[in-house]
Structure 1
């Protein structure tokens, strides 16, 4: 009796293992910067599924937060898309777990100041310089954590540049407060919703967000230009490297580039950093093709 039970359990375990393996083969897990939620979930993901028959499973958060989760083995994925090349560096090399051996810069998106049309400060954004509006009493500003998200770090960087350009030494303190100011710092994936629901008057967003979601926005002066530089890679411990390669191939294809542009992302010629020889052969042609 015990022998029969053991055999049954063994067969069941093998069957479950086979199902899990099949699920891995059919699913591509994409970890991506939170600023790309709309692009990935409503554009690229569904189009990829129609094109390949594979299942897209996305996870959005601040790029540094994702990198920390990968490093701490709290989250696994097949493809990682970040908003800054520096994030990939934190995952490269033996000391960092060798999670990334190469990455490709493929798109850019400038930082903007978005605001709610329903805000009592909306008209001021149309008639005054944006940094003056951000200093007005009572304005509710949203931004991401500079320690967890490149956009948060870019926000601080841009405000420091603005302080110099406009000769206002205390501009950063007046508008942002402390870098981790709890009254302003929010998870990247919730920032847009907070603005749209009226919980915020203004916030810092990439052009892909303001364009894609029809958020009223102000462009900073060219001298203050700060932008996301989107990168992608196939993680070294990807459960589905073949599916991951098909996703990257799709994203860099003509159809993928069209979707990127439609969602307000500036497409650039793919540039490889790291071990180019480790890039799957199936991706070489699409990487060299450019935009």
Structure 2
């Protein structure tokens, strides 16, 4: 009986060791812009795990917030996906901690004005210009912090341009208030949920968010267009560089790019910035193939 128990235990142990269990060395930690939550957690992450047998572990927040946490050594990761090339630049060079040596632009997503279809202001978005609706009394608007998230900065930039285009010098104050207006500024990863739950009537979102979650949205005039430019890199202090390279390769592959397109992201030809010598050879080969 003891022998049988020992044998059974050995078989179980062998099966566990052979199974694609997600041990620490098989985990890829991906830090990414909060606008990509649904895409990463429900689509790219599971597809990557199925394709490679590795575990995807994601962390979402405003791109600048993530960069600040990296610089402050409050957070480590293997891969960093930002919504703006400027964020990567802030992590490059000895003066900035030398956290990033290169990055590749791989996708874009225009900024939109999304609204809750059950809001009492929903009908107005169909008949009036968006800036007029955002000035109506009682409307609840959500946006992200321009200091922590490129989308928040793009929002202020777009409304400022609209003030000139539509000859409304007080448009920014009437729609956004102060730059860091606490009644509007929310963490990027919670903004969509607030809109969907009815806590907000309207907000500023990238097209990947509005398309992915079927949020009715208004595209601003071409003269006002602002957009996320998504970048991808492997952090210099990555704990799983091999796994990180496999994740980057997956996202740049035909399958990964198809997933991006399905979720409303505009796929672009990869463009590299920084030290090309620091790019893993397999990643460079995938970048060349995707061009």
Shift of 1:36: 0.1
* Matched position secondary structure for 1:152: helix
Name the counterpart of 2:125: 125
Question: Structure 1 stretches (4+) deviating beyond 4 angstroms?
Answer: none
Q: Does 1:198 align with 2:198?
A: yes
- The Cα shift of 1:286 comes to 1.1
8 Å CA contact 1:104, 1:231 repeated in 2:
yes
Classify the secondary structure of the residue corresponding to 1:99: coil
Instruction: Determine if contact 1:268/1:290 at 8 Å carries over to the other structure.
Output: no
Aligned to 1:249, the other structure's residue is in SS state helix
1:288: Cα distance to partner?
1.1
Q: How many equivalent residue pairs?
A: 270
8 Å contact from structure 1 (residues 24, 240) kept in 2: no
Match of 2:257 in 1: 257
Map of 2:105 onto structure 1: 105
Q: State the alpha-carbon separation in 1 of the partners of residues 93 and 187 from structure 2.
A: 28
CA shift for structure 1 position 160: 0.6
Tell me the CA shift for residue 261 of structure 1.
0.2
Which residue of structure 2 lines up, in the alignment, with residue 66 of structure 1?
66
**Unaligned regions of 5+ residues in structure 2, if any?**
1-21
**Matches of 1:117 and 1:84, distance apart in 2:** 30
Match of 1:167 in 2: 167
Cα separation, 2, equivalents of 1:271 and 1:239? 25
List per-residue Cα deviations over 1:235-282 (Å, max 9, x = no partner). Answer: 000000000000000000000000000000000000000001100001
Q: How does 1:225-264 map to 2 (within 5 A)?
A: 225-264=225-264
Paired residues of 2:253 and 2:290 also in contact (CA < 8 A): no
CA deviation string 1:49-83 (max 9, x = no partner): 00000000000000000000000000000000000
Paired position in structure 2 for 1:33: 33
Kindly state the Cα deviation for residue 24 of structure 1 after the two structures are TM-superposed.
3.2
SS for the counterpart of 1:236 is coil
SS of alignment partner, residue 23 of structure 2:
helix
RMSD: 0.8
Instruction: Measure, in 2, the Cα distance between the counterparts of 1:241 and 1:51.
Output: 18
Report matched runs for 1:1-291 at 5 Å.
Answer: 23-290=23-290
Query: 1-side partners of 2:233 and 2:85: how far apart?
Result: 11
TM-score (norm 1): 0.92
Task: For structure 1, list consecutive stretches of 5 or more residues without a partner in the other structure.
Answer: 1-21
Residues of 2 paired with 1:285 and 1:266: CA distance? 22
> How many Å separate the matches in 1 of 2:285 and 2:100?
21
Alignment partners' CA distance in 1, 2:168 and 2:92:
39
Q: Secondary structure at the match of 1:36?
A: helix
Distance across 2 between alignment mates of 1:160 and 1:288 = 39
- Contact kept, 8 Å, 1:32 with 1:63, in 2: the verdict is yes
Which deviates further from its counterpart, 36-45 or 281-290? 281-290
How far has the Cα of 1:146 moved from its partner?
0.1
Measure, in 2, the Cα distance between the counterparts of 1:150 and 1:263. Answer: 20
